[in-house]
Amino acid sequence: MAGKAGDPRFHALPKEIGDLHDKKQEDYGVDEDPLANLRGSGEWNIRPWVGAMNRAGDKVRRLQKYAKVGKLANESVRDSFMDNAVYSLLALILFDEEERQKTEHHSV
């Protein structure tokens, strides 16, 4: 018996998230390192994946405000959800990098 496919709306979102990441990359990244802005948290002695999750936390707070008051002044609710998804995925990339570096360092 073949497995059930998930909701097609869910499967459309990763493409939209990728497009959003690429668009915002023009403002935040540099050609040599597309995650340079997030890695910059290391200059403050904050692990980059933690810095990314801190930014995701800001998006969650916006959503909490919307849940309480029913409106946002500067960003749509949908934008907050999408940015939160992007930051979570970028944090995972940075976390995986950190773990890989630990493994490589310990195996040398």
Q: Measure the CA–CA gap between 83 and 62, rounded to whole angstroms.
A: 11
Indicate if the pLDDT at residue 2 is higher than 90: no
Q: Residue ranges per domain, the chain? A: 36-106
Mean pLDDT throughout 81-88?
96
Indicate if the pLDDT at residue 78 is higher than 90: yes
Q: Measure the CA–CA gap between 39 and 67, rounded to whole angstroms.
A: 31
Task: Give the pLDDT confidence of 26-36 residue by residue, as tens digits.
Answer: 888 787 888 99
Pair of tokens at residue 59: 């998006």
- Judge residue 3's burial from the number of C-beta atoms within 10 Å of its C-beta, 0-12 exposed, 13-18 middle, 19 or more buried: exposed
Task: State the pLDDT at residue 31.
Answer: 79
Residue count (the chain): 108
Residue pair 52/94 in contact (Cβ under 8 Å)? The answer is yes
Confidence of residue 73 (pLDDT cuts 50, 70, 90): very high
Read off φ and ψ for residue 16, nearest 5 degrees: -65, -40
Percent of the chain with pLDDT over 70: 95
Confidence of residue 22 (pLDDT cuts 50, 70, 90): confident
Coil, helix or strand at residue 30: strand
